[in-house]
A and B are shown apart, each in its own frame.
Chain A
Amino acid sequence: MQDDTEERNSGRDSSKLSDQCKNISVSEIMSRDPVSFRDDDTIESIIKVMLEYPYHIYPVVDKRRNLVGTIDPGNVLEFLFFERIPRNNHTHLMAVKSLSETAENLMVDHPLTVDQKTDLCDVADLMMKHHLERICVVNGQKLQGVVSKLDLIKKICSLRSN
């Protein structure tokens, strides 16, 4: 009986939570000044920053702060330990990346982004469906910030406790 009541409560809570999240834009919870790289940053400097500030992905911007790509530790590991990449994955693109000297060559240049007005429900859906840890938030091409699962968790916890 008590379980039923709890279920009903949590059901009501979660629908209320969705309604609330629909009215909150991602720009309210994102990190506005994320650790990012410039497209001409060297691999050495990238590794140094990565070791100091560990994240799942890092945005790469050009001199006008337009988002041009993302780098994750996987890209760096493949760069450093190219010989361990299975032979079947020795594609032309892999070879080009193995010669990278700057972020521009190493990055993934088709990053998944969300607009700064996107609501939290859509961001949560994206993260849960496609196993994304962090997503770059943009306004047009300009990088505005980065939103992570932890940012979402923090916000949802605060909404629930209210």
Chain B
Amino acid sequence: MEVLFQILLILLFARLLGEATERLGLLSIVGEIAAGFIFALLLRPTNTEVFGFFAELGAIFLLFTAGYREVHLKDLEDTSIKALIPTVFQIFVSFSFGFLIGRIFGFGYIESLFMAVAFSPTSISVVIRTLIDSDYLSSKTGSLMLTSTIFDDIIGIFLLSIVVSLANSNQLLPGASLMAISFRIIAFVIIMLLLGLKILPFAFGYIQKMHTRESLFSFVIIVALFCAYLSQVFGLHPAIGAFLGGVILSDLPFAKIDVIQKEVNGLAYGLFTPLFFAFIGFSVEMAINVTSVFFAISVVVMALLAKLIGGFVGTKLIGFDNVDSLIFGVGMMPRAGVELVIISIGRQLGVIREEIFSAIVLMVVVSIILSPFMLERAIRYKESIMSSVQEPVSTDAGQ
């Protein structure tokens, strides 16, 4: 099949099915994954190199835009230690569950570590609509969910950096080598900080004066690609560098002018990320024959339970009641883009097997479908308890 026609067809499928799932009240990711799955099922293409390359750019731009438009460094400064306890707890429990399930099913250490990292983050965007519709975002628990997920991407990327470095060495390393990996990560972060605090603010002052067309937009993309490349030089995955590249541009006025943001978003969400999600669906279809149903169901159940238990216990530790702790745990369940980038990196490095890949994609899809529904039920449950004790239905607003 001609490459041009292939890309055209996948993008068209991804947009149409993405729109369909949006209208059903789900994230368009579900439709885009389905588009890749159906594409593989119907057409069985053989030459998918270009599709794969676009998908790789999709992973890079997905994490770049996560840093560029979603991370707000000021929010990190305002976070209290109290909010850190449930955050660290739910991530720790999810990480442990991921690792354990890998080991129980007989996978190696590195494979199990990749599962652990893919279990760890939360994508709050999946349930923001539910929180708003239930008038629960401003509640004590809603605010805690928001605070908790500030760290999610950052902790997820940090864990991923370590696991990718370990995977590149292809063995569990002695202390000295672990030190070398940590040193490499720290050196990379220092270069990024230098770039973000000193070089880029100075450089963008000149770049905005350039006469060539769209030079500002081009340089935002150049920074994304440069950071991606640099992280590869440091033995990390390009997507990790792209995320940090996005973070260092996120407070730079010239890089965040409305028109530039729109252009970057257009390129990322209009072209690359739908192809990335479609490639995930495409790869699942190719891997589905080797995936055991029991294993896949175990991954889905354990991944969702881990967040529920971790979130529940973590919030109980800081004095929340049972129902609020339950709501927090359910709110931490959804996974989306970052988790898919993590497993596609593992697959690309040849570290994780196809059955882990398919099981985690299934887990992401199930969590996107189930989480909003379960969160709404949990909030209704709380409201019914409150009205039964004849108190006004309130959401602790302003706390």
Residues of A within 8 A of B (CB): 82-83, 86-88, 90-96, 98-99, 108-113, 122, 125-126, 129-132
Which stretch (B9-17, B131-139, B223-231) binds chain A?
B131-139
A93 CA to B149 CA, complexed, in Å: 11
Q: Is B254 an interface residue (CB 8 A)?
A: yes
Of chain B, the residue at the smallest CB distance from A104 is B74
Number of A-B contacts (CB under 8 A): 76
Residue among A86, A90, A112, A125 making CB contact with B253, cutoff 8 Å? A112
Contacting residues, chain B, for A130 (C-beta < 8 A): 208, 216, 257, 259-260
Contacting residues, chain A, for B128 (C-beta < 8 A): 90, 94-95
Residue among A83, A88, A110, A126 making CB contact with B251, cutoff 8 Å? A110
Residue among A86, A98, A113 making CB contact with B137, cutoff 8 Å? A98
Contact indicator A87/B137 (Cβ below 8 Å): no
Known: A110-B251, A112-B254, A126-B208. A93 touches B69 (CB 8 A): yes
Residue among B132, B133, B208, B250 making CB contact with A129, cutoff 8 Å? B208
Contact indicator B143/A93 (Cβ below 8 Å): no
**B121 CB → nearest A CB, Å:** 12
Interface residues of B in 117-133 (CB under 8 A from A): 124-125, 128-129, 131-133
Of chain A, the residue at the smallest CB distance from B209 is A125
* The 9 A-B residue pairs with the shortest CB-CB distance in the complex, in nearest-first order: A90-B128, A112-B253, A91-B70, A90-B125, A110-B253, A110-B251, A95-B128, A130-B257, A93-B72
Residue among A87, A95, A110, A122 making CB contact with B252, cutoff 8 Å? A110
**A161 CB → nearest B CB, Å:** 29
Contact indicator A87/B27 (Cβ below 8 Å): yes
Q: What sequence of 0s and 1s flags, for each residue 310-326 of chain B, a beta carbon within 8 Å of any chain A beta carbon? A: 00000000000000000
A87 CA to B269 CA, complexed, in Å: 13
Jot down 28 A-B pairs with beta carbons below 8 A, ordered by A: A83-B133, A86-B22, A87-B27, A88-B22, A88-B28, A88-B125, A88-B269, A90-B128, A91-B69, A92-B124, A92-B125, A92-B146, A92-B149, A95-B124, A95-B128, A95-B131, A95-B137, A96-B72, A96-B75, A108-B256, A109-B251, A110-B250, A110-B253, A110-B256, A112-B253, A126-B208, A130-B216, A131-B259
For chain B, give the interface size range. Answer: 35 or more
A88-B269, A129-B208, A130-B257 are known contacts; what are 12 more A-B pairs with Cβ within 8 Å?
Answer: A82-B132, A90-B129, A92-B124, A92-B146, A93-B69, A95-B131, A96-B75, A110-B251, A110-B253, A125-B209, A126-B208, A130-B259
Q: Is B365 an interface residue (CB 8 A)?
A: no
Of chain B, the residue at the smallest CB distance from A130 is B257
A81 CA to B166 CA, complexed, in Å: 46
Q: Is B150 an interface residue (CB 8 A)?
A: yes
**A91 CB → nearest B CB, Å:** 4
Of chain A, the residue at the smallest CB distance from B133 is A83
A98 CA to B135 CA, complexed, in Å: 11
Contact indicator B208/A99 (Cβ below 8 Å): no
Contact indicator A87/B124 (Cβ below 8 Å): no
Of chain A, the residue at the smallest CB distance from B150 is A92
Contacting residues, chain A, for B146 (C-beta < 8 A): 92, 95-96, 99
**B382 CB → nearest A CB, Å:** 19
A60 CA to B389 CA, complexed, in Å: 45
A84 CA to B366 CA, complexed, in Å: 25
A12 CA to B255 CA, complexed, in Å: 35
Contacting residues, chain A, for B149 (C-beta < 8 A): 92
Contacting residues, chain B, for A92 (C-beta < 8 A): 70, 72, 75, 124-125, 146, 149-150
Of chain A, the residue at the smallest CB distance from B250 is A110
Interface residues of B in 21-76 (CB under 8 A from A): 22, 27-28, 69-72, 74-75
Contacting residues, chain B, for A94 (C-beta < 8 A): 128
Of chain A, the residue at the smallest CB distance from B72 is A93
**A32 CB → nearest B CB, Å:** 22
Contacting residues, chain A, for B259 (C-beta < 8 A): 130-131
A37 CA to B269 CA, complexed, in Å: 34
A24 CA to B252 CA, complexed, in Å: 27
Interface centre among A111, A112, A125, A129 (most CB of B within 10 A): A129
Contacting residues, chain A, for B257 (C-beta < 8 A): 112, 130, 132
**B302 CB → nearest A CB, Å:** 26
A128 CA to B24 CA, complexed, in Å: 41
A90 CA to B128 CA, complexed, in Å: 7
Contacting residues, chain A, for B269 (C-beta < 8 A): 88
A129 CA to B213 CA, complexed, in Å: 9
Contacting residues, chain B, for A129 (C-beta < 8 A): 208, 216
A86 CA to B125 CA, complexed, in Å: 11
**B126 CB → nearest A CB, Å:** 8
Contact indicator B137/A99 (Cβ below 8 Å): yes
Contacting residues, chain B, for A108 (C-beta < 8 A): 256
Of chain A, the residue at the smallest CB distance from B29 is A88
